[in-house]
Chain A
Amino acid sequence: MFAAAGDSLISCGMKQTGAVSLAHLPSIILAVLNPSVALGVLFLLAFFAAYMMTLSWADLTYVLPATSVGYVLLALVAKFLLHEHVSPTRWIGILLISTGVAFATSGPASTPVPPARETEKLDAEAVSVGGHR
């Protein structure tokens, strides 16, 4: 589950960064008319859903560095699929991001929280609501 959530988050994050840059380069009014923006919004929604799901069980300070893998993937896509030139500065940037992600993911995913009672209460509510169906 861990890996699956992470992977979907990362791939959606990558698509999101791609979509956002597509949406920003043309002028904003033209962007609304651009059909690729619709696809961008769709990816954004998918990213947002995956992001929210991951935030529900992991810390913000864990999830955010993990999403930045998207930047690295974007650069690799630019290099190998679009055959863009990736400058040494960018390789250093990619290296720094990867190091940062390694730091974050080598630790625990969430802070052990005491207010487990609250979660249990919500769970009980969910079960009773689900039971009525």
Chain B
Amino acid sequence: MRSVYAWSAIAAIVLTSAIGDVLLARAMKQVGDVGALWRRTNLWIVVGRILRNPYFLLGVMAMTVAFYSLLFGLSWGDVSLVAPASASLTFIANAIGAKIFLHERVDRRRWLAALFVAAGVALLAA
């Protein structure tokens, strides 16, 4: 029963942090290259535009939910399961999310990168 709680927390973390990452990435793509904007205008205009972007705010909210899910997950399950499992699966969920929602060209190289990193992160904490 305990492991059901832990795994549902892991699922919640993976889902919300992937949603958050995709939303933040979309927000930053809308804002445009921050370095180039900064050179042309000034820092506060860039920061203001980022903060006014609705996707950015939604993304931060999703990240907050992910963080609280992590706290819940850590109280329900072992750190050695919840932290690496959620970190590792997030890489794969993000690749899927980026392909579907951001229309990034996720070629075989990038799938391999996501899989290798996910496996490596899982092993690091094992």
**Residues on A facing B (Cβ under 8 Å):** 1, 5, 24-25, 28, 52-53, 55-57, 59-65, 68, 71, 75, 89-90, 92-101, 103-104, 106-107, 111, 113, 118-119, 122-123, 126-127, 129-130, 133
Within 8 A of A (CB), among B81-126: 83, 91, 94-95, 97-99, 102-107, 109-110, 112-124, 126
Contact partner of A60 (CB less than 8 A), chosen from B45, B102, B116, is B102
Pairwise interchain contact B32-A71, C-beta atoms closer than 8 A: no
**Residues on B facing A (Cβ under 8 Å):** 21-22, 24-25, 28-37, 40-42, 45-46, 49-50, 71, 74, 79, 83, 91, 94-95, 97-99, 102-107, 109-110, 112-124, 126
Identify whether the interface residues of A are mostly helix, strand, loop, or mixed.
helix
Smallest Cβ distance from B47 to chain A, in angstroms? 9
Cα A99 to Cα B112 in complex, Å, equals: 9
Q: Which residues in B have their C-beta under 8 angstroms from that of A5? A: 35
Pairwise interchain contact B32-A122, C-beta atoms closer than 8 A: yes
Pairwise interchain contact A107-B110, C-beta atoms closer than 8 A: yes
